[in-house]
Structure formats: structure tokens, C-alpha cells
Amino acid sequence: MKFQPRILAASIAAIVPYHLALAADEAKTSVLDEVVVTAPMMLEPLVVTTDPKAPRQPVPAHDGADYLKTIPGFSVIRKGGTDGDPVLRGMAGSRLNILLDGENILGGCGNRMDPPTAYVFPESYDRITVIKGPQTVLYGPGSSAGTVLFERTIKRFDPPGWKFNGSLMAGSFGRNDEVADLRAGTPDYYVQGTATRSDANDYQDGSGKTVHSAFTRWSANGAVGWTPDGDTRLELTGAHSDGHAAYADRSMDGVKFARDNVGLKFEKNRISPLLEKIEAQAFYNYVDHVMDNFSLRPVTGMKMVSNPDRETVGGRAAAKLRLADATRATVGVDYQANKHTLRSTTNYANLPRVEDASFRNYGLFGELTQFVGERDKLIAGLRADNWNAQDKRATLTITGLGTVANPTAGKERNETLTSGFGRYEHDLAGAPATLYAGIGHTERFPDYWELISATKESATTLSAFDSRPEKTNQLDVGMVYNSGNLTASVSGFYSRIGDYLMVQSNYAKGARTPTIVRNVDATTWGGEAGIAYALTGTWKVDATLAYVHGDNDTDATPLAQLPPLEARLGLSYDNKVWSAGALLRLVSEQDRFDVNKGNIVGQDIGRTAGFGVFSINGGYRPKKGTLVSAGIDNLFDKTYAEHLSRSGAMITGFDQTTRVNEPGRNLWVKVNIALD
């Protein structure tokens, strides 16, 4: 199926997106109201905010990546039922900065079985905010593609009270989810407890083939806070989570994803006319991951186990300043350090951990907003980061060579990198619209998977530890329009990337074909567009479009691992008691690829055909605070796979496919409850 833009015009009047929602009114009482969940709109320049507690279609896996894929510009590199890697505008890995309540969390698996979003349980958060492009310096280094903030917000309980949000969901392929979030407090103190669990069996694709994809995930989070007045908050948090997941793309499965977290946060507002706010936090994250080839699949040969872990500590302090009536600034510092260890035998629990790498970063940042008249605004920021990385590997295990000495053993790197941006925003005088244009520069230090991870070499040596930092220069332009009944946005970008860190498999090195890391130059451009129009008080039309184009300038080939053109279309009905809708997702073929090249997650396999997937839903609100919703995803049982997908692996008892095929027809029902 070749997707043509004219399909938009032909289909928009007949096809319907999904609009169902859960929204808690924090100020007074809990209600369930309407929001767009299939494609949340960009309501301010380069920023998209969505409610992770809301029902949505198609039903996502219970992890952060599958929630992000509902936002135009996002894709997911698929591996099975859960734990895919999020991709924004074709950029994956550490090009996308992901923070959980302001904290960094880094996975342990050398083959990206556990990206940061694998440890995200979205319904335990109140808000997901996406900042597209290198257009902020406040949230850590290297965010050339963008920044994603998973955030919780607890307001002061004055008067004393409590709130509860929960949901239950059941669906095809044994899917069942349970979420409970209870908050209670007085004007001076509060407590919060959140628990989530999600479980699913192997799913079947549209042809009835079973995909090795079962998973179970659970989490428990707690917080206690002190709020002596409306401007002060001190909070202590803790979290523990775990789970297991079967993968259709590799020879091993994840049998342990344990995370332990402790965090401390302080905020003080309205301190003086100059100092509007100070905030500080410190955190500790520990990930203990185990993968093997026998717990979740039949054993066909020698048993294999790998047990990496990652310990991350960090902190941040920032001050918001009111320099003048029209001038605001935020200045601050942040810090992050992590170390990675690995042990790999069936009796791993009895062996000491062996550290293979450590990283440390100090960051200094400042961001200034200047209002110019009534309709113009200038925003600019600068950031400097001092990096240290150490290669702790004495030897390397190289396919075809066995165990050899590491040429960069004990080597230490110290580099200072800079980032910055400037953006102009203008509110039109005769229309409810904002135009904007911004230029951003980001220097990204290579991450663990590009420098250290097993099997990674450079083009000339057995170690990739000397790979150069990546440098991105990007132009972002666009418009946001909101007249009440009509909401629309369009954003475009053009990016030149120097020393782009590309991962290439099957690279010819004599008789060997290893996976290597290369620095190349690249160019990308594209954008996203969205429109939502309320035809009446109950009917609404909606459409989104996303596209990215990339070139590997060094090799004169297409840049690998880029998603194809994608559109979502439709019309929904909601009278605040009953709702109904449908979603048509249209994806073009992708014939721009470069086999064996890509990123730390995966490499291009070849061309993919286009496809269309149609889904329907309905909802009922029997009373305030209760929403019952149901839907059928992939109504016509389409067999398809995403372009950004890992290759299907040969697993005993399962049919091997070229890519990881997506679920076939999937029925689900969900109940949301909000009480206070």
C-alpha cells in the first residue's frame, strides 16, 4: 500500500479518531472529562502535554515508549509486547532525554532490552510533557531530539482531604492491568501511595501466528511530604518495581527488571521580588537486570545468563529569577554519575560484579525569557557540561578472535561540551495564533552503548571508546493556532548533524563482520502537523501528520532507522454521558533504507510496505468520577509490522517473521474511577 497525501482529503470526513479521557480536577472534585488521547495537540511552541491516566486507543503496553508513540513525531523500535525504544523524529537512545520526576534512570542491558522507558509505569504519573528539538537547556545534556518529562503533581491539602484514582482493564491475549493511586493529607503533611500491575500473554498477529511477547510488570511508589505553607514543599520519595518480558527479536528474554529508587526534593516559591523560586533535588536509582534463554522459552542448547546492573546518582539545583517586569531567568547546576557492571554465568548470584565502565557529568545552565511588547517573546539558553568516562574493561570478547586485550583498557576521557538555543515567538494581532522560529546547538557525549557495550568496535580498532561526540545544529519553525472550536499546529525542522554516531552491523573487517560504531555526517528534516475541529458540541474531527527525511552525507545513502510518513484521521462523538469514535492510522511504505546501518537499538532490514489500521471505541459515564470505556483495536485483523522493528528471531514453537509483527484484532474494556 503506497500512502498518498490525497488520502487525507478523501478520508477525513468519514474516519474518526478516539477521544476519551480521565481528568482529575485537582482544585475541587474529581471528574472524568474529555481530552484527545490518540494524538495530543501541541498547544504552545514545541511543547506537547498529555494525561497518562486517560484511556487511549490503540491500547499501549504498560511502559513509557508505547504511551509516547501516540504523540505525532514519535515511533517505537519494536521488540515484542513491551519495552520498545522510543524514537522522536528518527532519533533514538540518548538523543532523547527522559526524566522521571526530574531524575535520570539508565538501563543495564548492553543490547537495549531495558531502555529508560522500560522502568516507566505511565499511569503512576500525572503528566507527560514533550519538548521537541534542542530548544531547552534546563533538563540535562545531549537532548538533540527532545526532552520527555514524566511528572507527578501533588497539591497542598487545604483543607485536609484525600483523592483516589484507579483503573482496571481487561483485553485480548490475557491482557489485564490494575492501577491504584491514593493521596491524603493535611495543610502541613501529605502521603501518597501508588501501585500498578500489567500482565499479558503472547499475542497473535493478524494471520493467527503467535508472537513471543508475554510480559508481567509491577511497581510500587510512595511519597511523604511537608507543606508548612502554600509556597513550600519538602518531599521524600521511594519506588520499587520489577517484571519479566519475552522478546520476539533475540535469543534471550528479560527475567528481571528490578529498580530501586530514593529521591529528595525541595521547592520554595515567592521568596522575594527578585527570587521567584528555588528548587533542589537529589536521587539514587539502581537497576538490576537479568536475561536468560531458558526461563520464558524452551531450552534448545546451552543455558545462557547475563546479569548487568547500573547505579545512577544525581542531583539538581535551580533558581527562577524575575530580573525585571518583562525579564525572567532560570539558572542552575546539575550532576549525574553512573557505573555499570556485568556478570554472565548461570550461577551469577554467587559471583562478584565486574565494573566495565563509569560516567560522570557536571552541568551548568541558564535560560532567559524576554517579553518584547504585548505579542513578542525571546527565549535563549546556554549550557556547559564537563564529562568524564572511564573504560574499565581489561579484555574484550570478540567474535572470531576470542578473548583479546582491550586497546583502551583503563583509558579515561575528560571533555567539556556546550549547548545553546535561541527562539523568537510572535502572537498574531488579528488571530489566536503564535508563530515561532528557533535555532539550537547540542553537543552530545557518546553513551554507554556507543562506547562500551559488548560487540561494539570502531572501524579501525577493537574498541569504540574513542568515538567523537555528536554535534547537532537545528532550525525549528512553526505555528500554533487555538480559537476554541479549532485547534491546529504545524512544526518543521532542519538539522545538520556532525559526527553522527552510527552503529553498523556486518562491517567487513577481513574475514570478520563485527558491529561497529562510526562517526558520519548527516542531515535530517521533517515535521508534524495536527488539526482538531469541533463540528458541534458533541462531534469533533481530528487529523495528524508526521514525516522525517534523513541522509547519511558521508556515505551518500539514506539515513537508516527513520520512520515513514504517518497520518491519523477521524471524527468522534461525546455528549458527556455516552461517547463513540474510531481511529484510522495510515502509514506509508518506507523505501529509503540502508541495510545493516542504524543506531544502538537496531539496524535497517529493508523496505516495508504501507498499511492502514482501523480501530473503534465507545464510552459510558454512569456518574461523575466513573468512566467505562471499551474498544476494538485493529478491527479488520490486519497483519503488519512497523518499519522500525527488530528482526524476528527463530524461537522454538514460534514462526519466525522478517520483523516483529504487531497484534491482530484486540478487544479491551477499561474502568476508570476518580474519588475524593
pLDDT tens per residue, range 113-134: 999 999 999 999 999 999 999 9
The residue ranges of DSSP E strands in 588-665, in sequence order, are 597-598, 611-623, 626-633
Neighbours of 46 (CB within 10 A): 23
pLDDT of residue 53: 87
Domain layout of the chain by residue ranges:
6-675
What end-to-end distance do the CA atoms of the chain give, in Å?
50
Is residue 76 left, alpha or beta, with left meaning phi > 0 and alpha meaning psi from -120 to 50? beta
pLDDT of residue 399: 82
| The predicted structure's pLDDT at residue 41 | 80
Contact present, 287 and 107 (Cβ < 8 Å)? yes
Tell me which residues of the chain have a pLDDT lower than 50.
Answer: 1-31, 34-37
Distance CA 642, CA 623 (A): 39
- Which set of grid coordinates corresponds to residue 348? 551469577
Would you state the pLDDT for residue 455? 66
Question: Which three cell numbers mark 439?
Answer: 535555532
Q: Say whether 72 sits in a helix, a strand or coil.
A: coil
pLDDT of residue 300: 85
Q: Could you tell me the pTM of the whole model?
A: 0.93
Q: Is 218 exposed, middle or buried (CB count within 10 Å of its CB: 0-12, 13-18, 19+)?
A: middle
> What is the Cβ-side half-sphere exposure of residue 276, based on CA atoms within 13 angstroms?
11
CATH of 6-675 among 3.30.420.40, 2.40.170.20, 3.10.150.10, 1.20.120.1200 = 2.40.170.20
- Pairing assessment for the beta strands 456-458 and 433-444 based on DSSP bridges: unpaired
Q: Quote the pLDDT of residue 99.
A: 96
pLDDT tens for 130-174 read 999 999 999 999 899 999 999 999 989 999 999 999 999 999 999
Q: What is the pLDDT of residues 263-277, one digit of tens each?
A: 999 999 999 999 999
CA gap 50, 54 in Å, rounded: 9
Q: What whole-number distance in Å separates Cα of residue 376 and Cα of residue 507?
A: 51
pLDDT at residue number 5 = 38
Instruction: Give φ, ψ of 588 to 5 degrees.
Output: -75, 165
- C-alpha cell belonging to residue 620: 459510558
At a CB cut-off of 8 Å and minimum separation 6, what does 158 contact?
187, 230
β pairing state of 146-151 and 96-100: parallel
Separation in Å, CA 322 to CA 230, 284, 334, 371:
20, 32, 21, 12
Q: Which residues are within 8 A (CB) of 131 and not within 5 positions of it... i.e. 6 or more apart?
A: 46, 47, 139, 143, 146, 147, 148, 149
